[in-house]
Amino acid sequence: MNIPYLPFRPPHMALQHFKENKTEESYDSICYHEKILDGFSIWNSYYGIKNKTNFDIDFDIDFLGFLFAFKNNFHFNVPHLNNNLLEGQYNLVYKPSSLPFNVSFEETGIYSLLYLKIPLIYITKWKNPFPIFSDFISNLKSETVTTISDNHLHTTTEMEIIVQDCLNCHFEGTLREIYLEAKVRELSALCFNQIIQNSMRSKKNILTPQDVFKIQAARQFLLTHIDTDFSLRKIALKVGTNEFKLKQGFKQLYGLPVFNYIREERMKKANELLKLTDTPISEIALIIGYKNLSNFTAAFKKRFDYPPSIVREREKRKKKK
């Protein structure tokens, strides 16, 4: 493997590769896999793209579960699938093992997909009260790629936190199994709830494609300038919308108000820098927009229940092993 950058290896997750139709040295790939109780499993894959390329990702078995794009944008050359899965989007997908997943990569860089495989029996529990699941299950007989929603859904910060909790889990044995099963069921419930809410939402509350584009631009603007505080008015003006639509639409897409979202993203970035770099804690505070170290430490401890120094100490102990 020669991937230029990868997050730290998820503890206890087995290294496992998909069968990829690799015809040229235009990318590197790596995949971690862990089975969980009752038919759930997690596949956490990364691709280091060196040149514009495309290839097939094949599964040995039928895949049924949630497909999340956590880093960069993916273009799937697959019939019956909304081709562009953008960073921060997901969908409930069924793909028969007989059909390849052809993926195109237009730019160099690191790409990350997370697959949460769930058992069919778990989905069938939802079909009677919610017709959208009944329709989805009926389509599974067609032997084509099927999704729960024609338009991909947006991951919320709450969902991302659960994923990180799963990847960072340090429990072992039975306790680990119980913890992970609870987390993936919680993640599935959040996704299902969003699917249901979207299907029930009246047309007057549905964001137009232009609205979605502007709100996505606002999110990207905030992440690019994560060390700077902006008023809601200035953000709205920057992307060409109004404060009300930005406020309502942002929460609809990402599950949190604008400023709650950016605070959570700052904490996530700080946690990542503490684990992956030797950058002093005082500098990390400045990188994410905290001019006062004490305020940063208090905010970090409030979010994670321990100060940033504990994270750094844990990483040092790992390196010594």
pLDDT 10s digit of each residue in the chain, 321 long?
Answer: 233 333 444 444 444 444 444 445 565 666 666 767 677 888 888 878 888 887 777 666 778 899 999 888 888 877 666 678 888 899 998 888 777 778 888 788 888 888 888 888 888 887 777 778 888 888 787 778 888 887 888 888 888 888 888 877 888 888 888 888 899 889 999 999 888 887 776 444 567 888 888 998 999 999 999 999 999 999 999 999 999 889 988 887 887 889 999 998 999 899 989 988 999 999 999 999 999 999 999 999 998 889 999 999 888 887 776
Q: Where are the domains of the chain?
A: 14-200, 204-320
Joined together, the tokens standing for residue 130 give 């919610």
* Separation CA 259–CA 253 (nearest Å): 14
Distance in angstroms (rounded) separating the CA atoms of residues 262 and 289: 11
| DSSP code at position 39 | G
What is the residue whose two structure tokens read 């979605």?
212
Please give the CATH number for the structural domain made up of 204-320: 1.10.10.60
Q: 91, 149 in Cβ contact below 8 A?
A: yes
CATH fit for domain 14-200, picks 3.40.50.720, 3.40.470.10, 2.60.120.10, 3.40.50.2300: 2.60.120.10
Return d(Cα 71, Cα 107) in angstroms, integer: 13
Q: What's the CA gap between 149 and 15, in Å, rounded?
A: 31
pTM attached to this predicted model: 0.64
Residue range 51-91, pLDDT digits in tens: 888 777 766 677 889 999 988 888 887 766 667 888 889 99
